Chains A and B, each alone.
With several copies, the nearest count.
Chain A
């Protein structure tokens, strides 16, 4: 097998290293007698950078050497490889959201009174960030606590035209039963089709 060209070695090393590599380390890939000159390595790095002009990557010099990295113009898209799909929301968050939905406008203190436990700031923040909940005012009591309601985005997400489509509290039983009685809640147009197959499974 022919000895690989310096350019191939430098490129391979930078792509495989997983971090910056300095000139000395690149030179150390060769035994002394076959070692290229520093100038040759530097020139190779320049050639690579030129060749990458139209590519998704670039050669970058940083404190500890050179590295090849994803070009900034491509990075946002490539970063989606690591989109985090976190687990599920906690029960505390769902209960908080449910209380805002059913008892809006409501303050954090009122949610805490009903749940019998403190609501973490993180939960409120998450609900606000998700745009499911927003502040519509403040109750004029000491501390002027924020009043939360649900948003249109909340209704859209759960496929509701209005809060009225949520089952009344008095009816709340097993959610599965509710869905059977309110097919719209399951996201199916009520009279478009005969009962969906899994509805049948549920009915005795």
Chain B
């Protein structure tokens, strides 16, 4: 608190009117210009903050608060807040009541002569003030730490475009089975799409036959069979070819009786074989 500030404080006293009377009786330490008074009072972070302010201002030991004094000063501030119609939070009034209660208890003769369990009436308040003060200090320390945006800046440069990759999602076989089950259950409901059972090896073989014929013209029928697969393999291939012919995918050609049979994927005359 500087001399200048005190002079300023005296000056405001002449400007402020409370209840139509010049307000001269206010806390001694209000060294702030009048238009800042409201701001000043609003900056208190609640009653504990205000109390700590009062204690620090008088350089008092927090552990040994002169409760009567502090109560009086606290009430002055609360009154002032009321006069300025600040949105006075209930916490301030609760604290005022608490201070008055402590004050009254301290006026009573203490039965604590014999060091019994009777606690100092201020103890709980002091504990709260001390606890709060730790976090006030911690908040200040936090604010003083270097931090991004203020003390350091994050670097962020671009990379030339066109290099981003997309990773496809993972699929579990169970997902696939659940999907096929769902789709056939639905299909079963509409009789038009009754799904007959077919061996998957037949279907797989149909794909393989088509793969072999892809991009080729007529292929000798016999080339599609692999004798090393044995009889079942030959049968599956044969069934696959019949199925493909039935569904208009393949066509069979025999130029003359008993000549070699040729097979090819059907295609429009003017269209090259599927690539």
Q: In the complex the two chains form, what is the Cα distance from A140 to B127 in whole Å?
A: 27
Does B259 lie at the interface of the complex (its beta carbon under 8 Å from any beta carbon of A)?
no
Q: Which residue of A lies closest to B166 (CB)?
A: A84
Question: How many chain-B residues does the 8 Å CB contact rule pick out?
Answer: 107
Among A162, A172, A196, the residue within 8 A (CB) of B180 is A172
Contact bitstring B152-192, A, C-beta under 8 A = 1, else 0: 11111111100111111101011111111111101100100
Does A45 lie at the interface of the complex (its beta carbon under 8 Å from any beta carbon of B)?
no
- A86 B187 Cβ-Cβ under 8 A: no
Q: Which residue of B lies closest to A89 (CB)?
A: B169
Given contacts A98-B176, A188-B66, whether A18 and B156 have CB atoms under 8 Å apart is: yes
- B159 A12 Cβ-Cβ under 8 A: yes
- B106 A173 Cβ-Cβ under 8 A: no
Given contacts A95-B135, A172-B177, whether A69 and B64 have CB atoms under 8 Å apart is: no
- A15 B141 Cβ-Cβ under 8 A: no
Q: In the complex the two chains form, what is the Cα distance from A113 to B190 in whole Å?
A: 11
- A114 B60 Cβ-Cβ under 8 A: no
Residues of A within 8 A of B (CB): 12, 14-19, 57, 60, 67-72, 75-76, 78-80, 82-89, 91-92, 94-95, 97-99, 101-105, 113-118, 126, 130, 135-141, 144, 146-147, 149-150, 156-159, 162-164, 166-170, 172-173, 175-176, 178-180, 182, 185-191, 195-196, 198-199, 202
22 contacts between A and B (CB under 8 A): A18-B154, A68-B155, A70-B152, A78-B153, A83-B167, A91-B182, A92-B45, A97-B176, A98-B176, A103-B203, A113-B193, A114-B195, A116-B190, A157-B171, A162-B201, A164-B201, A166-B200, A169-B195, A175-B127, A179-B126, A180-B120, A187-B110
A67-B155, A158-B171 known, 15 other contacts, Cβ within 8 Å: A18-B158, A57-B155, A68-B155, A69-B148, A86-B150, A98-B179, A102-B135, A104-B206, A114-B183, A116-B48, A126-B168, A144-B267, A167-B177, A186-B120, A189-B69
